[in-house]
Every structure is written in C-alpha cells, then in structure tokens.
Amino acid sequence: MSHNNILNSLGSCGIYCSKCFAYKDGIIKQLSSDLKENLGNFDIYAERFVNLLNEAVFEKYPDFKEMLNHFSNVECGGCRKDECKLFVDCKVKQCSKDHLVDFCFECSEFPCTQHGFDEHLEKRWLTIQNKMKENGVQSYFNEIKDIPRY
C-alpha cells in the first residue's frame, strides 16, 4: 500500500479506520452486507427452527438481524475525509491540521494533554504514536493491517 493510501486509512491518532465497523468501505460493512444478502428470508425459518430444532437461540435472530442491518448501513468516510462517528470529543483531527502534522508523534508538543480522549483511548493513542515514532508508520501499519481492530 502506498504512503498516501496508508495515510487515508489511519486517523492522525493512528487508529485504523478501514477496520472500523462504521467505515463505509470497510470489511465489517462488506461482510455484514454479504451475510445479510445470503440469509435472504431467514426470518421465517428462524421462527420455525425454534420448535423444529428445539433451539431457543433462533429466538434471537431478530436482534442479530438488526445488528447486521446496522453494520450494513454505516456511512463514515474515515477520519481524513469525514467527522468521526465514534470519538466525538476528539481534538486530534483539527489539532494535527493546525500543527501541520499527519500524526501526533510528529508534533513538537507530543505527548500532550489536548487530545480530548478518555483514559482508555489516551493509552491506546500513546502506544500507537510511540510505535510509529520508534519504528515508522509503515512498520506499524504492517503490524495491524491484517488483525481485527477490536
């Protein structure tokens, strides 16, 4: 993947948008849409299977379908193009633009306290940025590109 494509896939915080459930071109949306399509009219069968197979798990199908629908309809274009739908208090996106950096580790103020993250996300941000700082963006990207984000 080229440097520009890597840049488009990662927020300035370093989190991998392409594997986010909310990303419109992401694998989670793609697989959810495929599964939804392949399940067709499973609603009717799920109802029947409760008694036919005597398996109560099929009672949960409507909730599962609702989740699949949710995953299938997400529309985020990623941090570099869109507003993040998850971390609404994030200050990093605008701040990195103001500081003319692609990632926080390139900023003279890093590590700062103006990211707007909660404790959990701050920890993750610090770990990611330090990895990129030590080994480079490409090396960090290679490490995460094939593993689940969650």
How far apart, in whole angstroms, are the C-alpha atoms of residue 94 and residue 47?
A: 49
Helix (H) or strand (E) holding 119: helix 119-135
Does 124 participate in binding ligand SF4 (rule CB under 6 A)? no
Does 114 participate in binding ligand SF4 (rule CB under 6 A)? yes
One-letter amino acid for residue 81 of the chain: K
Q: Which residue from 79, 121, 132, 137 is in contact with ligand SF4, where contact means CB under 6 A?
A: 79
Q: How far, rounded to the nearest angstrom, does the alpha carbon of residue 131 sit from its chain's CA centroid?
A: 19
How far apart, in whole angstroms, are the C-alpha atoms of residue 144 and residue 127?
A: 13
**Which of the stretches 18-26, 29-37, 46-54, 57-65 binds ligand SF4 when contact is defined by CB under 6 A?**
18-26
Does 118 participate in binding ligand SF4 (rule CB under 6 A)? no
Does 9 participate in binding ligand SF4 (rule CB under 6 A)? no
Does 95 participate in binding ligand SF4 (rule CB under 6 A)? yes
Q: Which is nearer to ligand SF4, 51 or 113 (CB)?
A: 113
One-letter amino acid for residue 137 of the chain: V
Return the half-sphere exposure (C-beta side, CA atoms, 13 A cut-off) of residue 59.
Answer: 5
Q: Which residue from 6, 9, 29, 78 is in contact with ligand SF4, where contact means CB under 6 A?
A: 78
How far apart, in whole angstroms, are the C-alpha atoms of residue 146 and residue 150?
A: 12
How far apart, in whole angstroms, are the C-alpha atoms of residue 96 and residue 10?
A: 13
**Which of the stretches 19-27, 28-36, 44-52, 56-64 binds ligand SF4 when contact is defined by CB under 6 A?**
19-27
* Residues near ligand SF4, by CB under 6 A: 11, 15, 17, 20, 22-23, 76, 78-79, 82, 84-86, 91-92, 95-96, 99, 101, 104, 107, 109-110, 112, 114-115
